[in-house]
Chain A
Amino acid sequence: MVPLSYYLVLSGILFACGVTGFLIKRNIITIFMSIELMLNGVNLSFVAFAAQWHALSGQVFVFFVMVVAAAESAVGLAIIIAVYRTRETLNVDRVNLLKL
């Protein structure tokens, strides 16, 4: 059996990749994908723990997260389309109407 720590390290790596992408990428779609990556990194640790402790609640949680993530992607993509239509760009640095 694969030890728990492997899953956790992988989960951490995924999450860190997500954070990094979120911070350094300018394309809003990439940022969006990075968020998904972070969510799935967390999901991975949830299921890993669930398997380890034979607890169902971890897996239930993951389903919830996936549902929320799906809803979020739907809304998020709609926003992205709206942004693109008005500003004709996907670069977040140029979506800066609120900037000082």
Chain B
Amino acid sequence: MTPNLHLWLIPVLPLVGAAVNGLFGKRFSRQTVSAIALGFCGAAFVMALWIAAQISSLALPHVELLAPWIRAGDFQVDFAFYLDQLSLVMLLVVTGVGFLIHIYSVGYMREEGGFYRFFSYLNLFMFFMLTLVLASNYLLMFIGWEGVGLASYLLIGFWFTKDSAASAGKKAFIVNRIGDFGFLIALFLMIKHFGSLNFVQVFRIVGGMPAEVAGAGLLTAIGLLLMVGAAGKSAQLPLYVWLPDAMEGPTPVSALIHAATMVTAGVYMVARSHVVFDRAPQALMVVAIVGTLTALFAATIGICQTDIKKVLAYSTISQLGYMFMACGVAAYSAGIFHLMTHAFFKGLLFLAAGSVIHAVGGEQDMRRMGGLRHHIPWTFWTMTAATFAIAGFPPFAGFFSKDAILWRAYVSPYGSWVYWLIGVFTAFITSFYMFRLWFLTFFGEYRGEVAAGHGDDHMQVVSGSRAGAPAPHQHGHGGIHESPKVMLVPLVILAVLSICGGWVGSERFDKFLSPALHAGVTAYSPDEAAAATPAPEPKEQGGSESLLTGISVLAAASGLFLAWLLYYRRPQLPQEIARALGSFYEAVVHKYYVDEIYAAVFVKPLIDGSTRILWHGIDRDVIDATLDNSAEGAREVSDAMRHMQSGNLRSYAGWIAAGAAVVIAYMIWTGTR
């Protein structure tokens, strides 16, 4: 038996931080609030490192029972934590990147109201995310899953006095509910058919089942429903619409929740449930197709966005699509590898974008930036590293992970050259829009209003409306300026990780994860291993791998070249192209009108139906009307009856006589019948 790792401390530490800051933070100074938030978050990171350090001496998977939770007959759910290679990787990514972003936030949020609230939410998010990652059963995972949704909602709507932020928070929450609905039904199916939600037990039972090669069955249903949940949380088609809007939140939130960690929870969940997916090829195919289409779809939208954070948001959706593509061809380790490198470079991209926004005084529109590389060199160089990483240039981190995904998509028994082709094309688009962002922001002439020197009036106005705080970044000291050190240190660390993070190599990463991702199949069911093994058996060897790698690097390079041509060399060309493309360009600018279509197809009928039928029709005309009318009726009847109580003795006598006459008449009538 392995020593007691006290895994429970890892999620609980940030929870303590959240509670202390949330309850008493109002009275603390900003330094105290930061110290508490960073201290508890850092402690979780240190614990994760401590566990990682003794990984070789541990018997994984390691299950730690904290307390029983639900006991109902044979069914039981515990507060228990599960550590294997997969959750360890997630643990390190979440605590590591999370800690860096906490540091960054201290600088970024320095001028903001609700400082303690922000850090309390941030720590709360860490608690739920770590619960999600460490849970040993689906229900506890679901708690974390819902909790990160809550934290995301709270942080997107952090500037809640701003209408767009409040509604973006609501949108994220509601769209996520749709996904969670699928997840929940998958859990119900598991309870009904397996009688357990425990990973170990569920996977043992599923492991004994044959792969559903011939036709869809229970496992396919569970897999698809889990994928619905994952699509909601990880912003895949058709539920991705909340993520771009989520950029209303503060930039560190976008970096932490909506790029590095929370949105990858879906990928983690699919990888964690790989035993189910391995036996449901149809579900796997759906995962792959959704991922591939999302990657391409979101990337094309990214081309035309002008808001620096929106570009990154669509880029995130697109990269998540890659991860699902990897999971969909049963290359889970490649997906998790990309998840890790993506956490580094996309976290960095957001933080650097935040630094840019900070520098230019709250401007987010790239058309009003430009030429910033001399003003903010640290931001420029770190962002450059991240841009090259996401575009997939060797030897940056993104190259290794993306290449692993594309290679697996091509050779995996579940893969196909179609996935590969779309993937490479998406890589080209990715490279193009990322370098477009890079050129627009850092090269050419500064196109902003001449805020640089004498923008003080403007800033005064904005800081006057601090209560609403729509533009958080204006503060008195005008001019384009580099961010403080507390923001630059995380940038530099993440830049180093973006460069070196991929050097571990997908092969070694795969081998490290294999006990959690491949061996599961053999361990749970030796007989089925041959039939359902997800280990890819390469169709082709050696030479073609370097050829494919060469093509994807070429795609990245041509993206760079095209961006250079259009946005550096001939900056008037994009407008001409846009004009030439006409309505298609319009459609892309308007994000293919997806939001409008959803509004027309789902939101409007729902609101109309609720208003006309449920509110006006049922609530007002039936329920309220019944109550009102019966009250009115009782009042009218009593009003009429009141006149009988005249106090006139003889009229009483008359009523008695009349009543007696009626009774007698009735008796005679019934008697004679």
> Which A residues contact B (CB, under 8 angstroms)?
19, 22-24, 26, 92-93, 95-100
Contacts and interface: CB of A to CB of B under 8 A. Distances in A.
Contacts of A26: 650
Contacts of A97: 647
A98 B645 CA distance: 9
B650 A92 contact: yes
Contacts of B657: 19, 22-23
Contacts of B648: 93, 96, 99
A98 B646 CA distance: 8
A23 B654 contact: yes
Interface string B201-222: 0000000000000000000000
Contacts of B646: 99-100
A92 B649 contact: yes
Contacts of A100: 642, 645-647
Interface string B612-649: 00000000000000000000000000000010011111
B441 to A, nearest CB: 86
Highest count of chain A CB atoms <10 Å: which of B642, B645, B653, B657 = B653
B653 A23 contact: yes
A92 B653 CA distance: 12
Interface in B644-669: 645-650, 653-654, 657
Contacts of A23: 650, 653-654, 657
A32 to B, nearest CB: 12
Given A19-B657, A23-B657, A93 B650 contact: yes
Contact of B647 (A19, A22, A24, A96): A96
B653 A22 contact: yes
Nearest to A24: B650
Interface in B265-311: none
Contacts of A19: 657
18 contacts: A19-B657, A22-B653, A23-B650, A23-B653, A23-B654, A23-B657, A24-B650, A26-B650, A92-B649, A92-B650, A93-B650, A95-B649, A96-B648, A97-B647, A99-B646, A99-B648, A100-B646, A100-B647
B177 to A, nearest CB: 60
B644 to A, nearest CB: 10
A24 B653 CA distance: 10
A92 B406 CA distance: 107
Contacts of A22: 650, 653, 657
A40 B619 CA distance: 62
Contacts of B654: 23
A51 to B, nearest CB: 23
A99 B653 contact: no
A98 B649 CA distance: 10
State the 8 A-B residue pairs at the shortest beta-carbon distance, nearest first: A99-B647, A98-B647, A92-B649, A22-B653, A19-B657, A96-B647, A23-B654, A23-B653
A88 B657 CA distance: 29
Nearest to A98: B647
A82 to B, nearest CB: 16
Contacts of A98: 647
Interface in B100-128: none
A64 to B, nearest CB: 21
A99 B645 CA distance: 8
Contacts of A24: 650
A30 to B, nearest CB: 12
B81 to A, nearest CB: 77
A92 B646 CA distance: 13
Contacts of B645: 100
A23 B646 CA distance: 15
Contacts of B653: 22-23
B140 to A, nearest CB: 70
B650 to A, nearest CB: 6
A1 to B, nearest CB: 26
Highest count of chain A CB atoms <10 Å: which of B645, B650, B654, B657 = B650
A62 to B, nearest CB: 21
A40 B650 CA distance: 21
Contacts of B642: 100
A51 B642 CA distance: 47
A92 B647 CA distance: 11
A92 B645 CA distance: 16
A33 to B, nearest CB: 14
Contacts of A96: 647-648
A89 to B, nearest CB: 13
A11 to B, nearest CB: 14
Given A95-B649, A100-B645, 4 more contacts: A22-B650, A22-B657, A97-B647, A99-B646
